[in-house]
Structure 1
Amino acid sequence: MSVVHVAVTRNVRLGMEEQFDAKLLSFIRESMSSEGVLGVHILRPAPQTGSREYGVLRTFESEEAAEKFYASDLFHLWLDDAEPLVEGEPVHRRLTGLEAFFRSGRGAMPPRWKMACLTFLGVFPAVLFWSTVLLPVLEGQHWLVFSMAVNVCVVVTLTWFVMPFITKIFHPWLQTGHAERISIPR
């Protein structure tokens, strides 16, 4: 099973920000005991920007845990409770890019330089491997065909094999040397 990260954003009605914030914090505290929930971060609007968009980044131990949470009575009660305080529908996004590999659900994101080092450690050998393997197979093909084939193989290799392996091995190093953030502020 692999960890799943879901970002949900909501636009809060003008003048309802404090009330929404209080209800959101209460819901998050209650939801942390849900099975399969590993962590949550609240993203509040930056002061003096006029934005009223709130975000919640939630980490689950598996896709099944995420589906179960979003189908739960607790989540649907939250939607009903928040309805008079928000405008529009919530926007749900699964984080599937490289940023998701570095989010463990516990602690802060590692520094970008560490993420860059591990990404290079995964990409460089994957590109070398697939370029070497595919060169004899696609010899004589247009360079775009060769490049596309190499890139497809590299992306698949990184997504399902290399990055999960590398981030698991280097997890202690990724999490050292920076202050841990509190998941639920205030």
Structure 2
Amino acid sequence: MAETIHIAIVRRVRKTHIEAFERALTEFASRSLAEPGARGVHCIYPPPGSDSTEYGILRSFASAADRDAFYETALYKEWLARIAPMVEGEPTYRRLEGLEAWFRTPAEAMPPRWKMALLTWIAVWPVSMAVPAILLPLLGPNFPQVLASGVIAGGIVAVLTWGAMPLLVKLAHPWLHPGNKTS
């Protein structure tokens, strides 16, 4: 099964074009959800009263192939041409991974930080006990301690990234997102 891909994009908008950009962004975000492999889009506006003109767009795709195909669509290319006079500089793109991606779902807001921290702690505690218990006997008593620490840390990160956190987030979904009736 393909892993969902999350991308964060930041655009800096010219102050004289903010209203037009916001209208264009709303329309584009809505239309883009009909593209194959699109799993969600979330728009982040500058805080009210700030001087910031940076807008964030969080996009989710079913796979890397769907992401790549989306960025080649006529819809996306038309969007770029439409906003070109409204923005300054090039956009920044960053794939979200790790903690920020574990809790990100296309249709929901991020859960409160305290819930993310608690769930992460619940995962880290047993994993940080189990991984050394499994790896230390395999490494043997003469294995250098500094290298053993690195191997154990790598094991903990791997188990958290590909096992514990995805499973816990799935199991805890109703608690993380209590307002979602589709859980």
Q: Summarize the alignment of residues 74-153 of structure 1 with structure 2, pairs less than 5 Å apart.
A: 74-136=75-137, 137-153=139-155
Instruction: Check the 8 A contact 1:138/1:146 in 2, yes or no.
Output: no
Q: Are 2:67 and 1:66 equivalent residues in the alignment?
A: yes
Q: Report the Cα offset of residue 33 of structure 1.
A: 1.1
Unaligned runs of 5+ in 2: none
Aligned residues: 178
Letter of the structure 2 residue corresponding to residue 91 of structure 1: T
Measured after TM superposition, the shift of residue 117 of structure 1 is 2.1
1:184 paired residue number: none
Percent identity of the aligned residues? 40
Please give the secondary structure, in 2, of the residue aligned with 1:20. Answer: helix
Question: Residue by residue, what CA displacement relative to the aligned partner does 1:110-153 show, whole Å, maximum 9, x if unpaired?
Answer: 22222122212221222111111222315344432222111111
Residue 12 of structure 2 is matched in structure 1 by 11
Q: Is the 8 A contact 2:42 2:106 kept in 1?
A: no
Query: Match of 1:34?
Result: 35
> Following the alignment from structure 2 to structure 1, what is the Cα–Cα distance between the partners of residues 19 and 105?
30
What are the superposed Cα offsets for residues 41-92 of structure 1, whole Å, 9 maximum, x if unpaired? Answer: 1111123321111111112222222222122121111111111111111101
RMSD of equivalent CA atoms: 1.7
2:152 maps to a residue whose letter is V
Q: Residues 135 and 19 from structure 1, CA distance in 2 versus in 1: closer, same or farther, beyond 3 angstroms? A: same
Q: For the residues of structure 1 that align with 2:168 and 2:49, how far apart are their CA atoms? A: 40
